[in-house]
């Protein structure tokens, strides 16, 4: 759309909502359809950061618009141009949290009435810098705490954008490690099994402690 007025029609897609008292409205940072795989108008931990538009934006940045356009065909193979592009120049081979956060900001700005991508929108008053930091913090915290929904986000981005990557922020258990020795593969499998076993042991311990406490529905601040 050529003018800010033309792009106002998209404001619901980028999180606009009216205040309950009818006095104006504002833009939500997470109740944003364009961030969700299913276009949800409310934050959904299972689909947020998975809208294909975000991935195509990122591919356009690192490989060029032609590569992004090919992604519209679900049967097409991943297209990496042989000419110079950001992916080849910088050796980008897997998805990073900053890539997802940046793509979210670009997607919102692209459909906003804001003319320039400044730290704060000139028409929407969206704080794009704060948005980027917020998305980045959600993603990195999810990685650090091994949140299943966030691990799934990174796994899906790698599956779609970097299907041949040998490593990433999330390493799927069935990811092939081409060129690695049998010993390497066995070591990685053993470590994965060890982590899983520790998780199961921790869960069993918590269940025993809960069953043996004799309490139910007592908050931390309630008297014994």
Residue extents of the structural domains in the chain: 4-176, 177-210
pLDDT digits (tens, 9 = 90+) for 92-151: 999 999 999 999 999 999 999 999 999 999 999 999 999 999 999 999 999 999 999 999
Q: Are 58 and 103 in contact (CB under 8 A)?
A: yes
128-144 and 97-110 are packed helices; what angle lies between their axes, rounded to 10 degrees? 150
The C-alpha atoms of residue 41 and residue 31 are separated, in whole angstroms, by 5
Indicate the length of the chain as a whole number.
Answer: 224
The C-alpha atoms of residue 35 and residue 20 are separated, in whole angstroms, by 24
Nearest residue to 93 (alpha-carbon basis) of 157, 136, 189, 48: 157
pLDDT digits (tens, 9 = 90+) for 193-223: 776 666 555 555 545 544 444 433 333 444 4
């Amino acid at each position: 759309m050529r003018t800010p007025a033309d792009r106002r029609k998209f404001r619901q897609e980028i999180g606009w909502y009216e205040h309950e008292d009818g006095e104006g409205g504002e833009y939500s940072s997470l109740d944003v359809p364009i961030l969700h795989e299913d276009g949800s108008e409310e934050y959904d931990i299972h689909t947020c950061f998975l809208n294909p538009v975000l991935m195509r934006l990122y591919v356009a940045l690192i490989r060029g618009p032609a590569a992004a356009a090919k992604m519209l065909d679900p049967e097409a193979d991943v297209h990496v141009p042989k000419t110079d592009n950001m992916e080849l120049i910088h050796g980008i081979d897997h998805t990073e949290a900053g890539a997802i956060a940046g793509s979210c900001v670009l997607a919102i700005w692209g459909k906003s009435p804001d003319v320039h991508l400044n730290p704060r929108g000139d028409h929407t008053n969206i704080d794009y810098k704060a948005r980027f930091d917020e998305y980045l913090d959600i993603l990195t915290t999810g990685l650090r705490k091994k949140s299943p929904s966030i691990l799934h986000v990174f796994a899906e981005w790698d599956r779609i954008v970097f299907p041949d990557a040998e490593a990433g922020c999330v390493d799927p258990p069935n990811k092939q490690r081409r060129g690695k020795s049998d010993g390497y593969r066995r070591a990685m499998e053993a470590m994965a099994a060890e982590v899983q076993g520790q998780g199961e042991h921790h869960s069993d311990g918590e269940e025993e402690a809960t069953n043996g406490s004799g309490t139910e529905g007592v908050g931390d601040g309630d008297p014994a």
